[in-house]
A and B are shown apart, each in its own frame.
Chain A
Amino acid sequence: MTTTDIVTIATRPRLERRPLRKILARPETGAFVAALAVLLFFSLYTPQFLSFAGAGVWLESASTFGIMAVAVAVLMIGGEFDLSAGVMTGFSALIVGILTTHYGLNIWVAVVVSLVVCLGVGAVNGVLVMKTGLPSFIVTLGTFFALAGIDLAVTKIITGQVAIQGMTKVPSYDSIQPLFGASVQIGGGTFYVSVLWWFVVAAVATWILLRTRAGNWIFAVGGALNSSRQVGVPVFKTKVGLFMGTAGAAWLVGMISLFRTSTVQANTGVGQEFIYIICAVVGGCLMTGGYGSAIGAALGALIYGMVFQGITFAQWDTNWLRTVLGAMLLAAVLLNNFVRTRAGGAR
């Protein structure tokens, strides 16, 4: 953690029992304000944005990013990055696709195998980071490229193609599909079960962070590693668990995209790892660890989903999408920062 971070956050006036001051000092407040601003903007700009049909679209878009953003935020609070998180969403789906369509494995078994393999990769990430002392940015950059190569090469070798076909013909496909890909119609909008998963993941992560010993340890190892060690926090276990957590979330997102579209490309997820980090930072996480919130990261993903779909709704030239996205994300971070420093600066 840098000195500036400590100064910004630690020199805040003592939080007396003033509710407003207390709310302003929360990490997710900035993201909440920014999400409201984005919602308001697109709702006024295009009438269909705030309809059931519109909400279904941007909530769906936000949900998978949200699940990952929450997991990545928890990892960032613990002081680490995981660049392999994006490609792992494709990796997990490819495992299920290949095992079922090519080897005829029972789909439920394949899903569990995929989870175990993903958790294993997460554990390898964690153990490598802890044993080598290398920055997780480098270690997971390595696993990112290794997995990306495996995804393409192995899929090509086994299936002869770069995508999985024929998932719907797999026996028992219909028994597991609703768990990850179900949807309901409400008022003309389609709402996917992934939105529910997103809320559940955010709620569970918040519970863990704020109300369990593990949560206490996550904040501690991210905030001051040596101090944590001195007071007996199981640093190794905590960090490896965190990497396994993002891997588990990547598995969930992989299953969601596999069972919603019934296909998966060999390059699925590549390039999305930075979006997760952006969502987490927009949600109030410090890049340096020890500070942030799961709710904030979920809100960060909501902002992303709304902007992403809002541009389409607004019928702007989609070539500008990334530029607009970048600018809006920067603006959100600045607003977030402004709210945070105001909470700190007000005396």
Chain B
Amino acid sequence: MSTETTTDRTDARPVPPRAAIGTTIVEVRDIGKSYGAVNALSGVSTTVAAGQVTCVLGDNGAGKSTFIKMLAGAHTPSEGELLLDGEPVTFASPRAALSAGIATVYQDLAVVPLMPVWRNFFLGSEMTTGAGPFRRLDVKAMKQITFEELARMGIDLRDVDQPIGTLSGGERQCVAIARAVYFGARVLILDEPTAALGVKQSGVVLKYIARSRDEGLGVVFITHNPHHAYPVGDRFLLLNRGTSLGNFEKSEITLPELTALMAGGAELDSLAHELEREMPGSPVAREMAAEASETVPEAVRPREG
């Protein structure tokens, strides 16, 4: 529209101070949430560090969404502590969490399918140039930045003018991630980004998760697929029926152990104990115990009692 370069950019990129790699940004201690008498989640602890990926794994109904809603400021925890840069905080709203640098990319991605990629990228935070009635979108700059930011994430779009609905599911995820990163996120919460995607597309998204991590962001990656979590994760929080099954460093757990835990190996183990108590020495109980010891690592067995 205009070749003017002296722009009055009202929404210039907010550049947040990025913490050094490995510094804890967010820490949760024994956090929990109850709705009246119903205990949705309790006793969950983990950390999110700059340049690291914290994976939150669990089956449907495990409490994953309750957990991220507390991180994202949509719910206030009813127990435990949430620490940001070591200071206890409570987020009154998602907007408060966002201004603290915690951005959430939900499954529906908050994009408008018929609008061009660049308009989606800047939607709600458009850059403008000129003043008064001639204040207008800085189309050229926004297209340029969208192209560059996406290129930095490794997506080479031939045309940022195409409707975002024409992109593949993985690419759309990446636009949403790139947008959050550009607008100053320090912690990126990704709600099941690979859930609706095929193998190849999931691989693409995992690549961008790794890239965001390498940019120094703390990433919270919610998934129910240990095969997606393990390659990119630095820390694994396992949830099951509203409680924590454990919070493991990558060095503390292997992929088979993770898979076993996810597959309900721990439950298999308790089931074996149960059978042993009810029918001591029966062949069924012996078989069950054998299977449990094969799949469940010693470290993560539920304690007796």
| A interface list, Cβ under 8 A from B | 1, 6, 9-12, 14-17, 207, 211-213, 215-217, 219-220, 223-224, 226-228, 230-233, 290-291
Contact = CB atoms under 8 A, between A and B. Distances in A.
Interface of B: 1, 95, 106, 108-115, 119, 122-126, 128, 135-137, 139, 158-159, 161-163, 165-166
Contacts of A231: 110, 123-125
Contacts of A224: 111-113
Contacts of A15: 159, 161-162
Contacts of B1: 211
A212 B128 CA distance: 8
Contacts, number: 86
B114 to A, nearest CB: 5
Given A10-B165, A15-B159, A231-B124, A291 B114 contact: yes
23 contacts: A9-B165, A11-B166, A14-B159, A16-B158, A16-B159, A212-B135, A213-B137, A215-B137, A216-B119, A216-B122, A216-B123, A219-B115, A219-B119, A223-B112, A224-B112, A226-B108, A226-B110, A227-B111, A228-B112, A231-B125, A232-B124, A290-B115, A291-B114
Given A213-B137, A227-B108, A233 B159 contact: no
Contacts of A232: 95, 124-125
A11 B165 CA distance: 8
Contacts of A223: 112-115
Nearest to A288: B114
Contact of B123 (A12, A212, A233): A233
A339 B163 CA distance: 18
B169 to A, nearest CB: 12
Given A12-B166, A219-B112, A220-B123, 5 more contacts: A15-B159, A215-B137, A219-B114, A227-B110, A231-B110
Given A9-B165, A212-B136, A228 B123 contact: yes
B245 to A, nearest CB: 31
A228 B110 CA distance: 7
Contact of A216 (B95, B126, B161, B163): B126
Contact of A227 (B109, B139, B163): B109
Contacts of A207: 136
Closest 5 CB pairs of A and B: A10-B165, A232-B124, A231-B124, A230-B110, A223-B112
B110 A14 contact: no
A231 B182 CA distance: 14
A233 B166 contact: no
Nearest to B11: A213
B163 A233 contact: no
A277 B1 CA distance: 31
B108 to A, nearest CB: 7
B112 A227 contact: yes
A221 to B, nearest CB: 9
Nearest to A234: B124
A290 B162 contact: no
Contact of A9 (B114, B119, B122): B114
